[in-house]
Structure 1
Amino acid sequence: MAKRNIRRPTFRSTLIRISAISVVTTLIIAWLFISATSLLSLRQYAEKNLQLLASTVSHSVEAAVVFRDAHAARDTLAQLGRQGQFASAVVTDSDGEELARWAWPEERTQHIDPLGEMVSHWLFPRPVEQPIEHNGQRIGTLTLTGEDSTVTRFVYRSLAVLTLCLLLAALVALLITRRLHRGLVSALQTITGVVHEIRATRQFSRRVPPSAISELHAFGEDFNSLLNEMEKWQRREQQERDSLLQRALRDPLTGLANRAAFTSALDSVLSDAERKLRTALLFMDGDGFKSINDRFGHAAGDEVLQSIASRLSECAGSRQLACRFGGDEFAMILEGLNDEDEVQATIAAIHLRMEEPVVLSSGVALAVRLSIGYAVACQAATAEALMEAADRSMYSEKEKRRPRVA
């Protein structure tokens, strides 16, 4: 079953979303709480103000009520009402009969929106009744209904200003939160960057830098400890791999390159036409090596082989490759030659070096000689042909060295 490519949010976007939800929720609750508190305070203020207004208006119409001048009473109410201090007013005498009435025209009240009407009914749930007194006696009653349009506009403006302030506060809070999150996100991105690089390159030398956040710092320290263990394991594995490769390409007795390494090196030379023109191959075989094993034992024979290998390595230097095929058979790949005289010079240097006797650990000194043959790489089409030519040359040299019986 194919894996579904699920788009997952980043840690930064998750933090921003959480912060936004928290800020918006908090500000909505604050908006509701402040609005409710403000409206409650405003209601108490409006009721108290309407009562004070009713007391003032009752004194203004007192004379008109005393003289039962309905026209004067209406004029007084209209003059005060047009100032926007109340919505309607009714003056009655002591018997409850209506003396004067004033109210805003219906056209004005019809433009009140439902929300404004709801706010008006909530602020002024009932009219205010104020007795009209003259010389301590009650001569009538004034009934006032509060003006809602002014209060409604004030409520709208207050709520708009409150909403704008809270939106600005939310924006500032989100910006500050985002800046504060930057350190946390940066620390996590550093850790994930190290993990991704290690996964891609398998290099366990990377480390997580210290973090200013305690939990992330502890996590980084634990992760670095794990990387230390992984790096040690990788180093041991590399050492074991190198050791295995060394054993696979080196002769265990002499430390020279073995047949596998020799074959690989020779194939590499012959595959390059330019290198092939300046390469030669030496084949070497010990003279009388069997007699050394028979007379002094295999341990002495191993010492002789190790001494021969050491001297061949000295003659080969860093440019040439000395190899051991097995037994007392050796080979050397000579590269960078200008002519066959350099081959002869190398063979002469090897013979000269072999003239020194090999001193065994028992103190016995043995003379060792090598039969050396060579072949030039440019004269052979394949590696097998080159090796056969060098081998024939070596045996030809060995026949020349062999004593003849008359």
Structure 2
Amino acid sequence: METYAKQNLQLLSHTLLERIQPAVVFNDKITIEQILNEYTNDHSIRTIHIYDSEHHLIAQSFKLSSQTSILEGWFDHWFLNEPVHLTIYHHEQNVGELTLFGSSEKILQFLKMIMVGLAIAMLFIVCALWWSVNLTYRQIMQAIYPLTNIAQIVSEQKAYNLRFPYNRIKEFQDLNTVFNELLEEIQIWDNQLQKENRKLSFQAHHDQLTLLPNRHYFYQILLDMFEDKGFDNKSALLFIDNNNFKAINDQFGHLAGDEVLKEMANRLQTRLRHQDFIARLGGDEFAVILHSISHADHLISIAENLLESCKEPLHLNGQTIYFSFSVGIALSQFASSPEDFIMQADQAMYKAKNSNEHWFIYKPEN
């Protein structure tokens, strides 16, 4: 840049020399000053001096100091401190001398343009980078959101059946594939675990022979019923006991006795409503919890209907087995606790065994 400025100054000096030569020859100071002022104002020139052949100053022109910045002064001092000296000839005779100091004004203007251009370019690059980063961030967040959302649902709800969707970003898709395979394995394991838990829960709460709820399940239902604040005391508890179960075991064997118990369970279930609860307490004892019992006649009808189910014998391996049972009935309105309820039903059942009807309803006066 310094070389370019000096070459440009040399060219400008020769051009000026050609213009002022006639005026110097004729000593036309007015024309010389006009030309010098024109060049000083229009070109990057700091000072111009014109001397005659005896080195006497003829004319000079200065750039106004108010038009010179501090930075320009520094550049002039470091890069254009040496003037250009040219001899003015006329018919090969020395008629004067031109001394010209250049100005860095144009250089600074050029540098300012470069700086502005660089600033604009940097601003454009920053904007482009911001846009690119923002776009990439949105794309990454759009890719990550399904991962975090499904992972949170799986963690909170144990929804192992969910799968991560397809992702356009290859790295995330590879991660999705691994997670989906892992979720599939967890789902299979969880299904097996739930199946085993249901099986164990069923075995813990049901009788293995008749598949009816067992004594533990029965006590829990009864306890929940009395703890329920909305309990309306319109329920009944039936204790059912086989009348000749020992004789059946002695005569036909224990396997036949088991078949009789299974048949009793099936026949009782078919005569009950879907909202009624039946359980096997153990041995040949069964219990039934009835709800929405409005009056005693309703209980009598239910008891007689249950007793009707044992009139037909059981045909087993060519043998005919007759069996019967008795029904003891207790009303929740007379019981203050599950223990009272069970005791009253048990007392009613023993009285039912000694009655002709084979059913008996407990009442306090009894």
- For the aligned pair, the TM-score class normalised by the smaller chain equals 0.7 to 0.9
Distance change (3 Å), C-alpha of 1:354 and 1:118: farther
Q: Does 1:325 align with 2:281?
A: yes
Matched, 1:304 2:295: no
Distance 1:167 1:352, change over 3 A: same
- How far residue 66 of structure 1 moved from its aligned partner, in angstroms, is 3.9
Paired position in structure 1 for 2:60: 102
Q: Give the whole-Å Cα distance in 2 for the aligned partners of 1:297 and 1:130.
A: 144
Report the TM-score, using the length of structure 2 for normalisation. Answer: 0.87
Q: Does 1:294 align with 2:250?
A: yes
CA deviation vs aligned residue, 1:326-363 (integer Å, no higher than 9, x gap): 00011100111221112111111111111111122x23
| 1:392 to partner: Cα distance | 0.8
Distance 2:87 2:256 in 1: 141
Q: Aligned with 1:177: secondary structure?
A: helix
Opposite residue 21 of structure 2, the aligned amino acid is E
Which stretch shifts more, 195-204 or 347-356?
195-204
Partner residue, 1:60: 19
Give how far 1:100 is off: 4.1
Q: Is 1:250 matched with 2:213?
A: no
1:95-117: CA deviation from partner (whole Å, max 9, x where unpaired): 7x3544635267437x522x333
For the Cα contact (< 8 Å) 2:48–2:99, is it kept in 1?
yes
Q: 1:395 aligns with which of 350, 353, 358?
A: 350
User: Once the 2 structures are TM-superposed, how far is the Cα of residue 159 of structure 1 from its aligned partner?
Assistant: 1.9
Query: Quick one: which amino acid aligns to residue 133 of structure 2?
Result: T
Cα deviation, residue 373, structure 1: 0.8
TM superposition shift of 1:322: 0.7
Which 5+ residue runs of structure 2 have no aligned equivalent? Answer: 358-366
Equivalent pair of 2:233/2:332 in contact (CA under 8 Å):
yes
Structure 1 residue aligned with 2:10:
51
1:81 to 1:116, Cα distance in 2 relative to 1, 3 A: closer
**1:363 partnered with 2:322:** no
Instruction: Give matches, 1:179-258, under 5 Å.
Output: 179-258=135-214
Could you tell me which amino acid in structure 2 is paired with residue 392 of structure 1? Q
| Structure 1 counterpart of 2:73 | 117
Deviation at 1:298, TM superposition (A): 1.7
Aligned residues: 357
Residues 1:135 and 1:301: Cα distance change in structure 2 (over 3 Å):
farther
Q: Which amino acid aligns with 1:112?
A: S
**Residues 57, 337 of structure 1: CA spacing in aligned structure 2 closer, same or farther, 3 A cutoff?**
same
Q: Aligned AA for 1:234?
A: D
- The 3-state SS of whatever aligns with 1:132 is strand
Deviation at 1:285, TM superposition (A): 0.8
Q: Check whether the contact 1:90–1:98 (CA below 8 A) recurs between aligned residues.
A: no
Share of identical aligned residues, percent?
Answer: 29
Paired position in structure 2 for 1:24: none
Matched residue type, 1:347: A
Match of 2:42 among 64, 68, 83: 83
1:147-185 Cα deviation digits (max 9, x unpaired) = 233542453244234313431342244124312432222
Counterparts of 1:145 and 1:389, CA distance in 2: 130
- What TM-score do you get using the length of structure 1 for normalisation? 0.79
Tell me the distance in 2 between the aligned counterparts of 1:211 and 1:121: 65
Tell me how far apart the structure 2 counterparts of residues 108 and 252 of structure 1 sit (CA, whole Å): 113
**1:375 alignment partner in structure 2:** 330
Q: What SS does the corresponding residue of 1:278 show, helix, strand or coil?
A: coil
Q: 1:336 aligns with which of 292, 296, 300?
A: 292
User: Partners of 1:363 and 1:116 in 2: how far apart?
Assistant: 128
Which runs of 5 or more residues in structure 1 are unaligned? 1-39
Q: In structure 2, the residue corresponding to 1:390 is in which secondary structure?
A: helix
Q: What is the CA RMSD across the aligned residues, in angstroms? A: 2.8
CA 1:101/1:233 → structure 2, altered by over 3 Å: closer, same or farther?
farther
Deviation, 1:384, is: 0.8
Q: CA deviation at 1:391?
A: 0.6
Contact 1:373 1:397 (C-alpha < 8 Å) held by counterparts:
yes
Using the TM superposition, give the Cα deviation of residue 320 of structure 1 relative to its aligned residue in structure 2, in angstroms. Answer: 0.4
Checking the alignment, whether the CA contact within 8 Å between 2:241 and 2:325 is kept in structure 1 is yes
Report the Cα offset of residue 129 of structure 1: 3.8
Give the 3 Å change call, closer, same or farther, for CA 219–129 of structure 1 in structure 2: farther
Instruction: Look up the SS of the partner of 1:143 in the other structure.
Output: strand
